[in-house]
Amino acid sequence: MRGTTLPQPTPTARTVTALADGRRLLYYDRGAAVPRESVDRRPLDPPSHGSEVRLDPATGDWVTIAAHRQARTYRPPAEECPLCPSRDGRHSEIPAADYQVAVFENRFPSLAGPPAEPASRTDELWRSGPGTGRCEVVCFTADHDASFADLTPAQARLVLDAWTDRTAELSALPGVQQVYCFENRGAEIGVTLAHPHGQIYAFPFTTPRTAKAVARAAEHRAATGRNLFEDLLAAERAHGERVVLSGEHWTAFVPFAARWPYEVHLHPHRRVPDLTALDEAQRAEFPHLYLELLRRFDRLFGTGRTPYISAWHQAPAVAGEELALHLELFTIRRAADKLKYLAGVESGMDAFVNDVTPEDAARRLREATA
């Protein structure tokens, strides 16, 4: 990617409308906004929420209880996909006949609504409260049969712009502590809708993984006077053995203690806390490296589309000044005919055992060129 001439950015237009039950729907377009059908003609009942967050007294981790999600849509046939555009008299979550990127509030959210006081319960052992926050669905393209890896750099940049806009708006909501943008792909991961899409959670708490990173970064700062993530990135770039791809503004590497068979972290060279703080040079280069990473994952096993989870790690609202924005991409596939299941030690003790050395994983991903 070194020396690549990047095009000037195309402005992003945002159009806000509402679905029949009051949930917000946003269209994102490259350049000017595109006129399209905005009326949701379905007879929808108001969405039901009723989720709760409970604090595990033994670990300090928050757990979301969302029993209403048992009724959510589960693997519908392609002709009934709720994320495809509405066409030929079939109405979906997208009233328009076409779109570039669409974002809407989840009909079956784990978290929803403004903060409420007081918490439901605050005794010595049991703390709980309403599951407030926001859950949104991000449709990457109107093409049901595509995947993120099939997008052009311009389309991927539009998704990045949508993630950034949503991070800015959701972070400003009362009570939101952390915004998490992610994609699950593949039935093996547990995806219930095949259409290319991701999700965004606006949490009313700092997630357990992030809380651990906050603590580790604070320890590193106290011991060295330096930032943990800047040191990690510098060390991986200097060592080189686990680097998969590198550009002028981003580097992708397999972490030293990777938990998954094929796991890559993509960091901007200039540390920023979240997507809103990326500069134009970082935004322009990101689609090229990210698309190449996704395509290399698909070439790894010769089995077509590789199941994966793609996760943006962003700093929380509280004590997050030491964290660095980065994207984590990993697959549960460890061989062409084998999956990495979370068994007793991983699920029971959160103690991962990796079947592939990080160095070998990085080598294989470097070799997975077209």
Q: How confident is the model at residue 123 (pLDDT cuts 50, 70, 90)?
A: confident
> How does DSSP assign 295-313, residue by residue?
HHHHHSSSSSSPPEEEEEE
When divided into structural domains, the chain yields a total of 2
Kindly state the DSSP code that residue 194 receives in the 8-state scheme. Answer: -
Alpha carbon distance 319, 310 (integer Å): 24
Lowest mean pLDDT, pick from 3-7, 201-205, 290-294, 310-314: 3-7
Catalytic, 197? Answer yes
Q: Are residues 123 and 57 in the same domain?
A: yes
CB of 215 within 8 A of CB of 60?
A: no
For the segment 25-84, what is each residue's pLDDT rounded down to a tens digit? 999 999 999 999 889 999 998 887 789 999 999 999 999 999 888 777 777 888 899 999
Q: Residues 6 or more apart from 107 whose CB is under 8 A from it?
A: 21, 23, 47, 72, 73, 93
- Domain check: are 186 and 228 in the same one? no
Model confidence, pTM: 0.94
Same domain, 324 and 222: yes
Q: Give the model's pLDDT for residue 2.
A: 37
- The answer to whether residue 1 is domain-embedded is no
In this structure, are 118 and 217 located in the same domain?
no
Is the preceding peptide bond at 35 cis, omega within 30 degrees of 0? no
Show the CA angle centred on residue 160, arms to residues 314 and 325, nearest 5°.
20
The residues that bridge with 127 in the sheet, in sequence order, are 55, 122
One domain, residues 261 and 328: yes
Q: Are 152 and 268 in a shared domain?
A: no
- Please give the angle made by the CA atoms of 86, 91 and 94, to the nearest 5 degrees: 50
Q: What is the domain range of residue 322?
A: 210-367
Is pLDDT at 251 greater than 90 in this prediction? yes
- Pair (142, 274) in one structural domain: no
Tokens for 322, please give them: 């030491």
Contact between residue 278 and residue 327 where contact means Cβ atoms under 8 Å apart:
no
Which among 241, 346, 244 has a CA at the least distance from the CA of 300?
244
Q: Is the pLDDT of residue 119 over 60?
A: no
Read off the pLDDT band of 136 (50, 70, 90).
very high
End position of a domain, from candidates 205, 234, 256: 205
242, β-bridge pairs: none
Report whether pLDDT(121) > 70: no
Q: Residue 3's pLDDT band (boundaries 50, 70, 90)?
A: very low
Residue indicated by tokens 């991961």: 189
- Cβ count within 10 A of residue 131: 24
Mean pLDDT of the residues in the chain: 93
CATH code (residue 276): 3.30.428.10
* Nearest to 62, CA basis, from 236, 168, 178: 178
What SS3 class is residue 201? Answer: strand
Query: Where are the alpha helices (H) located in 151-253, listed in sequence order?
Result: 153-171, 208-224, 228-239
* 205, 232, 256 - which closes a domain: 205
- Whether residue 116 has pLDDT greater than 80: no
Residues 241, 122, single domain; the answer is: no
Token readout for 173 is 């909501």
Q: Please tell me whether residues 185 and 224 are part of one structural domain.
A: no
**DSSP secondary structure letters along 131-142:** --BEEEEEE--S
Residue 236 scores a pLDDT above 50: yes
> Which token pair is 67?
């029993």
Find the range with the poorest average confidence among 71-85, 170-184, 224-238, 315-329: 71-85
69 lies in a domain? yes
Q: What is the mean pLDDT of residues 346-355?
A: 95
pLDDT surpasses 70 at 247: yes
pLDDT at 270 over 60: yes
Of 178, 205, 232, the one marking the end of a domain is 205
For residue 7, being part of any structural domain is answered with no
Q: What is the pLDDT of residues 276-303, one digit of tens each?
A: 999 999 999 999 999 999 999 999 999 8
Which whole number is the average pLDDT over 190-211? 96
At residue 334, the pLDDT reads 95
What residues contact residue 230 under an 8 Å CB cut-off, 6+ apart?
A: 271, 324
The one-letter amino acid at 89: G
- The CA distances from residue 332 to 219, 339, 340, 344, in Å, are 31, 6, 5, 16
User: Of all helices (H) and strands (E), which one includes residue 365?
Assistant: helix 358-367
155 and 291 within one domain: no
Structure tokens at 290: 């990210």
Please identify which of the residues 91, 144, 195, 197 carries the catalytic annotation: 197
